[in-house]
Amino acid sequence: MSQASDAPPETPPSPANAEPSSPASAESMPTEEPADAEPEDAPLPLDQVFGVLKNQRRRRVLRMLQDADGQLSLSDLAEQIAAWENDKPIKQITSGERKRVYVGLYQCHLPKMDGMGVINFNKPRGTIELGDNMEIMYRYLDTADEPDEPEWHRYSMGLSLVGVAGLGSALLTQPMTTLPVMDIAVVALLVAFAAYGAVCLHWTSRRAEAEDSSAPE
For residues 63 and 128, membership in a common domain is answered with: yes
Last residue of a domain, one of 125, 147, 169: 147
For residues 48 and 120, membership in a common domain is answered with: yes
pLDDT at 110: 96
A 10 A CB-CB count for 52 gives: 23
CATH number of residue 110's parent domain: 1.10.10
pLDDT at 57: 94
How many domains does the chain divide into? 2
DSSP letter string, 107-139: IIIHHHHHHTTSEEEETTTTEEEE-TTHHHHHH
Per-residue pLDDT of the chain (217 residues; tens, 9 = 90+): 545 455 555 555 555 555 555 555 444 454 554 444 444 455 789 899 999 999 999 999 999 998 888 899 999 999 999 999 999 999 999 999 999 999 999 999 999 999 999 999 999 999 999 999 988 888 888 755 444 444 545 555 566 666 666 666 655 666 655 556 555 666 666 666 666 666 666 555 555 554 554 444 4
For residues 174 and 191, membership in a common domain is answered with: yes
For residues 57 and 142, membership in a common domain is answered with: yes
For residues 189 and 167, membership in a common domain is answered with: yes
For residues 50 and 132, membership in a common domain is answered with: yes
For residues 83 and 132, membership in a common domain is answered with: yes
- Determine the structural domain holding residue 172 and report its residue range: 149-205
> Would you say 176 and 199 are in contact if contact means Cβ atoms under 8 Å apart?
no
For residues 135 and 164, membership in a common domain is answered with: no
pLDDT tens, position by position, 136-167: 888 888 755 444 444 545 555 566 666 666 66
20 belongs to a structural domain: no
30 belongs to a structural domain: no
Return d(Cα 127, Cα 188) in angstroms, integer.
50
Cα dist from 48 to 45, 61, 68, 101, 107, whole Å: 5, 16, 24, 23, 19
For residues 116 and 158, membership in a common domain is answered with: no
For residues 187 and 120, membership in a common domain is answered with: no
A 10 A CB-CB count for 93 gives: 20
pLDDT tens, position by position, 203-213: 555 555 545 54
Q: What is the amino acid identity at position 195?
A: A
The span from the first CA to the last CA of the chain, in angstroms, equals 102
